[in-house]
């Protein structure tokens, strides 16, 4: 009995399951990298919009200040 190997009857099934898990994790990693890449692209584009928004806001604030300082600011319509 010492020379006999003990066979696991579920060994092949376990190997198949582990193989599927590994492949699914690899696909998940690929999707995560794809998501991160696109997220950073959109984040960069939104940063440009944020800068434009701040520029417009500063322009409007300066315009209002100059109109008030010159006395040419009209009331609301």
pTM of the model: 0.54
Dihedral pair phi/psi, residue 3, rounded to 5°: -85, -15
- Asked if 24 and 33 touch (Cβ cutoff 8 Å), the reply is no
- pLDDT category at 2 given cuts 50, 70, 90 is low
Least confident among 7-11, 17-21, 69-73: 69-73
Q: Average pLDDT, stretch 42-64? A: 93
Domain boundaries defined on the chain:
20-67
What distance in Å separates the CA atoms of residue 74 and residue 5, rounded to the nearest whole number? 96
Provide the token pair at 77.
């319509």
Give the per-residue pLDDT at 40: 94
Answer whether residue 52 shows pLDDT above 80. Answer: yes
């Amino acid at each position: 009995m010492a020379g006999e190997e003990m066979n696991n009857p579920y060994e092949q099934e376990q190997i198949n399951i582990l193989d599927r898990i590994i492949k699914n994790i690899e696909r998940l990693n690929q999707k995560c990298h794809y998501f991160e890449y696109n997220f950073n692209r959109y984040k960069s584009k939104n940063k440009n919009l944020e800068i434009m928004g701040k520029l417009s806001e500063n322009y409007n604030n300066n315009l209002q200040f100059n109109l008030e300082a010159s006395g040419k600011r009209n009331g609301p319509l």
